[in-house]
Amino acid sequence: MDYVSLGRTGVKVSPLCLGAMNFGAWGNPDHDDSIRIIHRALDAGINLIDTADVYSHGESEEIVGKALADGRREDVVLATKAHAPMGEGANRRGNSRRWIVREVENSLRRLGTDHIDLYQIHRPDPDTHVDETLGALTDLVRDGKIRYAGCSTFPAHLIVESHWVAEQRMRERFVTEQPPYSILTRGIEADVLPAAAKYGMGVLPWSPLSGGWLSGKYRRGRETPDTHRVKFSPVDRFDPAEPGNARKLDAVEELVQLAGEAGITLVDLALAFVLSHPAVTSPIIGPRTMEQLESQLGAADIELDAATLDRIDEIVPPGTTVNPADAGWTPPELARKELRRKR
């Protein structure tokens, strides 16, 4: 693989990132099989692995740690995340110094390593000032526990605020953003991607196959697969009767035809599209099986021509998220009506 720069860090990473969300109870519960998939990805040239504490409640991190225990850790850029609830306690979640400092130690233990290359804040936390979060991450960098800090699914204005705070308070800055991005989820093209480019951030898009919608799994006239993702996602993400999903099904049919005309698979079309954006560093692929991994590895070598990209723009216009439920994070100002009404 041709390696690319991770923002302005000087670190070189593969053009595809191996996501580990599907390793463990959420996807593939067979640790040995999951480890084989990780090793195959590394053998293929992938050197960036992304996981999170919340994936299968720590089990994903444990599997990744086992896979790297054979001497491969040194060549891997290892990324994980914190924010989501990891227990019933009110403070076992969020972006506070108290939780981040505690949870990074838990991730280090589960991963079996003495440092994390990229430690990302999984979602914004409206109850925590970003200076509190950046202050904790700065101390963790100085302590050698993490090398860099990143954010995930942050809106553009919070990305800008984080860089302003980092400059004013002399904090470590977020060097990467991990947003949702696919042919069906293009909202970030309007602001997040330009903001990331402006600040020289690496961009590691999650769900480039739109939660499986661009794998060919969800088609008109077919039953919705009984997967873990479908079972535990909000109904508006996969129910074909939902208007946003009906529009996705229409788009998928057109994209299947376009992929056939281009002589590639729908998976290749989807991944190559995300890779074609100049602000994107390395999209995250999240295979559950070896077959899924093999079907995605070749996408890094595919370059879509202008005519194909123009046709994609006609099917899903730039800046459009076909189903708003796929945006990844809902600001409290939209989720809580009391914040939109005078008292």
DSSP, collapsed to helix, strand or coil, labels residue 161 as helix
Token couple for 255: 């994209």
Query: Which residues, at least 6 apart from 231, have a Cβ–Cβ distance to it below 8 Å?
Result: none
Are 173 and 147 in contact, with CB atoms under 8 Å apart? no
Q: What share of the chain is helix, strand, coil (3-state, %, to 5)?
A: 45, 15, 40
- Helices then strands, counting H and E runs in the chain, come out as 13, 10
Contact criterion met (CB below 8 Å) for 34 and 23: yes
Catalytic residue positions?
55
284: its two tokens: 């995250």
118 beta partners: 79, 148
Q: Phi then psi for 251, rounded to 5 degrees?
A: -65, -40
Q: Which amino acid is at 283?
A: P
Cβ atoms 130, 91 nearer than 8 A: no
Q: How far apart are CA 117 and CA 112, in angstroms?
A: 13
Amino acid identity for residue 332 in this structure: P
- The Cα 250–Cα 241 span in angstroms is 12
4 near 15, Cβ under 8 Å? yes
Beta bridge partners of 203: 177
User: How crowded is residue 114: how many other Cβ atoms within 10 Å of its Cβ?
Assistant: 9
What's the alpha-carbon Rg for the chain, to the nearest Å? 19
Identify the CA nearest to 208 among candidates 284, 151, 260.
284
